[in-house]
Amino acid sequence: MSLPFLVTPYYRRLADAHPALARQITPSPLEARTLPYETADPLADAAHSPLPRLVHRYPDRALILVTDRCAAYCRFCFRRHFTASGASSLTPGQEQAILAYLREHPEVEEVLLSGGDPLMLPDTRLAALLSGLRALRPGLVIRLGTRIPVVLPARITARLARILAAARPLWVVTHFNHPAELTPEAHAAVEALLTCGLPVVNQTVLLRGVNDHEETLAALFRGLLRWGVKPYYLLQGDLAAGTSHFRTPLSRTFDLYDRLSSMLSGLALPVLAVDLPDGGGKVRLHRSSVVRTDETWYYLQGPDGGLYRYPREEHLYEREDDPS
């Protein structure tokens, strides 16, 4: 299924002035190219889904796919098989089934709300979901992943911030990818969250032709830190169908991260990580993560001790369609 084009007027104005931002939202013919090792479900969510809209990959963490809607569709989306699929929002029946499952699994210490973007829910619906989760147990940590502060900052109202704060401990995980996204409007949205006592961290996807230079990333991470946002993850691209033109070769990623590490403080430097193919889970990436290589693959060790293949894509980076 093709991901439709959707962007907010606010982000469209930014994209008109910054080609790197336009690349994140503008459909490309290259999305029709699916490489043999790319899949519609690169994290194997379906294999770890005991209930509709629930993914339980790790014993102590669970993921709820709250909605398939976003305010803007990112062309590099790794969950594009679900986003804009018409699945709409979590139904009351699905929500109650998930809450019952979590009640029966006290080993779950953290719940991540994702989708789609959870902040696309109306305030009343979001408040009810958060209230249900909080009623399970007081110490349950909720993480909410959102790109709303980036693409629709006006959505972050004082009322919404209070709703989120009422569900603490709750961490907001934003998705800023480029320093041009650090606007006064976005700052006001983040400040509204921080003022309510909500911790905010950021995860950035490493995107070819968008932010795959150390100066760009350093400016982003320093800017976030000045706002009081901890750069949390720098993510290597997933093997999602139709997204190869956004991925950087792993060898280049390592070189870039080495340079970043020499430029930034430990507080400003995020963890480099990748979600392993075939549901292998998220692992920190460093050169010693590579157990062995051959002409086609890097072999990375997963949390379960198994070896997982990640492609060597240097040849793709040298193609004429390389935008950098």
Catalytic residues: 57-58, 61, 70, 74, 77, 79, 238, 275, 282
The Cα–Cα gap between 137 and 48 comes to 23
200 touches 194 (CB < 8 A) = yes
Q: Is 304 exposed, middle or buried (0-12, 13-18, 19+ CB in 10 A)?
A: exposed
Please indicate if the annotation marks 196 as binding a ligand.
Answer: no
Token pair for residue 240?
């999602």
The Cα–Cα gap between 141 and 318 comes to 44
113 touches 144 (CB < 8 A) = yes
Please indicate if the annotation marks 74 as binding a ligand.
Answer: yes
Query: Which helix H or strand E contains 299, and what residues bound it?
Result: strand 297-301
- Longest Cα–Cα distance in the chain: 55
Identity of the amino acid at 248: T
Residue 270: name the closest of 324, 201, 316, 219 by CA: 201
Please indicate if the annotation marks 77 as binding a ligand.
Answer: yes
Per the annotation, binding residues are 70, 74, 77
Per the annotation, binding residues for [4Fe-4S] cluster are 70, 74, 77
